[in-house]
Amino acid sequence: MESNSICSHIEAVKELKTAKEHVCETCIKQGTDWVHLRTCQTCGITLCCDSSPMQHMSHHCRAEKHPVIISSEPGERWMYCFLDNEMVEY
């Protein structure tokens, strides 16, 4: 993650938190479906993406003020900061 313009929230992530299970914990509880999964880099919860009907991760990040997520999809290696609307590959 080398760049002069990376936001401070992404730069603050030193060790990646990865999905413990490949499921959206909230979708499982609610009986809803997801499209893709994201993992919060503040608390490590894995939830569904904005393409999913319930958009649990973006709701979580805004409610909890947890700014950075990573994709939990196989083969994808990117981080996104909700506060700065910035995405970087790693």
8-89: CATH number: 3.30.40.10
For the cut 80, the answer to whether the pLDDT of residue 63 exceeds it is: yes
Band of residue 1 on the pLDDT scale cut at 50, 70, 90: very low
pLDDT single digits (tens) 2-59: 446 899 999 999 999 999 999 999 999 999 999 999 999 999 999 999 999 999 999 9
The whole-number pLDDT of residue 4 equals 63
**Predicted TM-score (pTM) of this structure:** 0.92
- The full set of domain ranges for the chain reads 8-89
Where does the chain show beta strands of DSSP type E? 37-40, 46-48, 68-71, 78-81, 86-89
Question: How far are the Cα atoms of 5, 29, 37, 48, 54 from residue 58, in angstroms, in the given order?
Answer: 23, 17, 11, 8, 9
DSSP state of 85: T
For residue 89, the tally of other CB atoms under 10 A from its CB is 9
